[in-house]
Structure 1
Amino acid sequence: MKETGHKVLLLIGNGFDCDLGLDTKYSDFVESKYFTNHLTGDFNACKLDEYDYDFNIFDYLKYKYNKNRQKWIDIEHELAELATRKSKAHDRQTGKMFETYPIMGDKQKESFELLKIKLNEYLYQIDLNPQRDSCAYRLLQIINGNKLAKIVSFNYTSLNLICGARDKFNTNYYHVHGMLSDNDPSSIILGFQDDLDIDKSYCRMIKSHQPSYYASHIPDYLEDINEVIFFGLSLGDVDYPYFSDFFKNQCVKNDKKHRKIISFFTYNEDSRQDILYQLRLMNDKKTRYFFEYSDLAFYRTGISSDKDKIEGFFDDLKKRLWVP
């Protein structure tokens, strides 16, 4: 079969693993022994506004998890909130109180490093047997082997291990947040982006400050491709900076020949609305221009009425990628 010149970039988030049927949600981790075995119960939420209050981050995350009635948590978002909260400190010279960013104490530092290790251990032992009839797996098989396709994963799980020997994966892909390791459990990247105002002591939570971090080249990939597929990626405040310039450019009128095909695979209408809200929030409320100046479409894997639409997308993607 002859390759076309059509370049595709697939960007996958945790919703991709969930569509495969894998137990990789942060909530799965929080409810596991890998997390609960490190709770101390010695946490006082009322002290969070104190400048030097130190505590175990496992306890803090459990507190935030319990506050959510839906039993859902985004650990990276909660870490960002923790580091950017304001606190009150006492000026010893003037005797006055002033507002500032709190410091990260030794308990937080030690438990944060342990959190990454235990998350790695939890994910490393889960069953990676995927649902092969899922939209996520079928999309992998369509892209698999295409030399003009690139995959960037925001997950820690390896696509090679997911596909296994049966469906050997043969397309290069890059892990933005590092990848699971059996000999280096601290290799994964967990935290937030550079642009937050924090105390210097919290810099170890910045992704680019962590030992496993290296350039993602996502902006270069987005500029070079014809089509981008987002699957299970929420575009939340932690990861949106990777795409901000790209989406701003899609709000500008351009030649039809150079318009990008942009597809979002999400679970239901609520998650579709969440993505649209992020696009609206980050781009001066110009959501309409995304539809006007790019070939933008949404596919809801959990909505039965979208089934035919998804099948049509898969058929068209095969045609774009390959010429008989």
Structure 2
Amino acid sequence: MTNKKQILVILGNGFDIAFGLKSSYKDFFESNYWPFPRTSKKDGHRFRTPQWLDSYLNQRNMEENWYNLESMLAQYGESISEVNEDRLKWDRECFQKLKISLKQFITAAKKVSNPGSSNPAVRFLRTISEYRNPIIYTFNYTDVVKFADFVGIKGLSCVHVHGALEGTREIVFGVKDGTKIPDDYDFLRKDSEPTYRSSNMFSDLMASKEIVIFGHSLAENDYHYFSRFFQIHSDEYNSYSNNKCSITIITYNDQSRANILSNLRKMNNGNIDQLFALNDFRFLRTEEGNVNAMIEFDDWLNEFQD
């Protein structure tokens, strides 16, 4: 096929999970790779270690924070009112342990068996590679190109926004710029990683007419990548007909859809009605066993072939 229309694709951890990887922060927290010692009481509740950063991450209910590890790091940094040298040294070592353990966990998690041709992530990759010219940005540390090659999809390329496990680059992990933490705790920031680099994602977002976000929660730690884009496309004075955009968000189920809508409201001054009104904006779900969701997903994939 020639003259393929260009499409911008943004992948989050939900894409890896759909592909078959257990690579979420929830999985990390519950795995043997979690670096901070825990023992269990008879009632099944974990006993927490009495230290600083490790204690905070252990004691705070991860479930209540949607297992958003980077947001919890930001909360911890913002809670520090006075820097103690012993605490600083301990926290720096804890953060390095956390990062090393996360890399080990993802390395183990990425060893996935063949997910099969009916897998929604596989069908998505196959369709966009055949009927579109995709620009792919991934927030995952895993290599989507290798995944694609593993299931027979050739010719894809992608940009890793937060680094990757492969090659010489380090993973970019931590809190976003602008988080109010003490200067001595700048090691928690993503941009403190020596291999941190910029990308053209925002300019590609603003230039694209067709965008698909697969498995990204649009959570607070990544607002700076997306907020301006969604604000502009929700403004009736800026979103003229020639700026109308096709925006598709692929998520798992109704609960994850509700969480993304909540995040969109937070980054968009509480208003998303105009986002629907001024653009071709839709959600798709990939929940196994949800017949209506899978029909909508199938219909959407078929649109590419038309």
Shorter-chain TM-score range: 0.7 to 0.9
Instruction: Give the CA RMSD over aligned residues.
Output: 2.4
Matching residue of 1:251:
234
Ranges of 4+ aligned residues in structure 1 off by more than 3 Å: 40-44, 57-60, 68-72, 101-104, 145-148
Matching residue of 1:232:
215
Is residue 2:80 matched to residue 1:81?
no
Identity %: 28
Matching residue of 1:60:
56
* Partner Cα separation in structure 2 for residue 147 and residue 298 of structure 1: 20
Residue identity matched to 1:217: N
Partner of residue 282 from structure 1, selected from 261, 267, 285: 267
Cα deviation code 1:235-283 (max 9, x no counterpart): 1100111011100110123332431100011111111111111111221
* Distance verdict in 2 for CA 1:129–1:77, change over 3 Å: same
Give the gaps of 5 or more residues in structure 1.
Answer: 45-53, 90-100, 320-324
* Distance verdict in 2 for CA 1:291–1:108, change over 3 Å: same
Partner of residue 179 from structure 1, selected from 156, 164, 169: 164
Partner of residue 313 from structure 1, selected from 291, 300, 303: 300
* Partner Cα separation in structure 1 for residue 153 and residue 299 of structure 2: 25
* Partner Cα separation in structure 1 for residue 132 and residue 297 of structure 2: 23
Contact 1:22 1:130 in 2 (8 A): no
Residue identity matched to 1:73: Y
Of residues 163-172 and 249-258 in structure 1, the stretch that sits farther from structure 2 once superposed is 163-172
Deviation at 1:147, TM superposition (A): 7.4
Deviation at 1:229, TM superposition (A): 0.6
Deviation at 1:125, TM superposition (A): 2.2
Give the gaps of 5 or more residues in structure 2.
Answer: 39-46
Is residue 2:283 matched to residue 1:298?
yes
Of residues 267-276 and 102-111 in structure 1, the stretch that sits farther from structure 2 once superposed is 102-111
TM (norm. structure 2) is 0.86
Matching residue of 2:49:
43
* Distance verdict in 2 for CA 1:256–1:72, change over 3 Å: closer
* Distance verdict in 2 for CA 1:280–1:130, change over 3 Å: farther
* Partner Cα separation in structure 1 for residue 205 and residue 170 of structure 2: 26
Matching residue of 1:97:
none
Residue identity matched to 2:56: Y
Cα deviation code 1:274-310 (max 9, x no counterpart): 1111111221222100011111001111133122111
* Partner Cα separation in structure 2 for residue 225 and residue 190 of structure 1: 27
* Partner Cα separation in structure 2 for residue 78 and residue 169 of structure 1: 38
Aligned length: 291
Residue identity matched to 1:134: N
* Distance verdict in 2 for CA 1:3–1:22, change over 3 Å: same
Contact 1:86 1:102 in 2 (8 A): no
Write out aligned runs for 1:129-144 (5 A).
129-132=113-116, 133-144=118-129
Query: Counterpart of 1:105 in 2: which secondary structure?
Result: helix
TM (norm. structure 1) is 0.82
Partner of residue 205 from structure 2, selected from 207, 222, 230: 222
* Distance verdict in 2 for CA 1:294–1:69, change over 3 Å: closer
Matching residue of 2:145:
160
Residue identity matched to 2:68: D
Deviation at 1:33, TM superposition (A): 2.4
Between Structure 1 and Structure 2, whose CA radius of gyration is higher? 1
